[in-house]
Amino acid sequence: MRKTGRCIAILAALGAASTAVLSANITGILEQAQSAYNERANPSRVREAIVLWQEILQTEPVHYEALWRLAKAHWWLGDHSAEPEQKPIFEKAMEYGQKAAELYPDGVEGRYWYGVSVGRYVETLGPFNLSKLSLARTVKTEMETVLKLDPQHAGARHVLSVVYRKVPGKPFAFGSKKKALKYAEEAVELDPASLRYRIGLAEVLIALKRKDKARAALQEVLVMPPHPEYGPESIEEKDRASKLLQEI
């Protein structure tokens, strides 16, 4: 009996040690992946991050953080790929995002990046139709859920603004320039350092034919410092603001 008890204790200790080592390994891989993603101005570093997050899933297929970060990384990669290559990349982003959202329904990151990925996938599908409307409703639902979970989420408001601006209005669909403006203004108010959200506000103002206010918003983007969390994107957004100013 004593020997049996000792064996059980030894096995339990070995199991605990193995779990601790595995956890430490995953933590290390997460740090390596994030370090690579932080250098995303170089697309090859994003691909390295993707490989590392996928490595975690080989060990732990239901790792929430790895799943939503894979969705985010594929969204970024798709956004920086040639148009013919975008659709399958956004499909992978959707796949990872949906798995994260299903694994942890109350997780903000999973739902947010699932919705964002669906939104970018929709934009690869061509002219607006019922299929695109259904997917747009999915984006809307995910962002509304994010706001229920985190009422101060500026990103969800920005995405809702884009959806309401791009989707046709009544009687065909639920689009609304008025709601688009409301969400765009709220996104800027919650994160005034975001160049992307200010461009989103300018795009709504352009759609509403308020070009003077749109110009003012875009000119603000040109003189804003890079966003502390989104340095590479800030450079791109200044270029985008400059092009929009030339068009209006």
More confident site: 166 or 172: 166
| 117 shares a domain with 86 | yes
pLDDT of residue 7 exceeding 50: no
Tens of pLDDT, residue by residue over 205-226, are 999 999 999 999 999 999 999 9
Domain count, the chain: 2
The answer to whether residue 247 sits within a structural domain is yes
Cα separation, 131 vs 134, whole angstroms: 5
37 with 98, same domain? yes
Tell whether 115 and 156 lie within a shared domain.
no
* 50 plus 95 within the same structural domain: yes
Question: Using alpha carbons only, how large is the chain's radius of gyration in Å?
Answer: 22
Length of the chain: 248
CATH code of the domain covering residue 202: 1.25.40.10
Q: Give residue 18's pLDDT.
A: 41
53 occurs within a structural domain = yes
Domain-located, residue 51: yes
Looking at the fold, whether 71 and 158 belong to one and the same domain comes out as no
Residue 246: inside a domain: yes
106 found inside a domain: yes
Are 89 and 83 contacting, i.e. CB atoms less than 8 angstroms apart?
no
146 belongs to a structural domain = no
Question: Based on the domain organization, do 45 and 90 belong to the same domain?
Answer: yes
The tens digit of pLDDT for each residue in 100-130 reads 999 999 999 999 999 999 999 999 998 888 8
228 domain residue, yes or no: yes
Q: Within this chain, do residues 122 and 45 fall inside the same structural domain, yes or no?
A: yes
Give the model's pLDDT for residue 171. 87
Looking at the structure, tell me whether residues 180 and 110 fall in a common domain.
Answer: no
38 with 129, same domain: the answer is: yes
89 and 122 together in one domain? yes
Q: Which among 106, 133, 160 is the end of a domain?
A: 133
Q: Are residues 128 and 156 in the same domain?
A: no
DSSP 176: -
Q: Are residues 32 and 114 in the same domain?
A: yes
- Whether 200 is covered by a domain: the verdict is yes
pLDDT of residue 10: 39
Give me the domain span that covers residue 121. Answer: 28-133
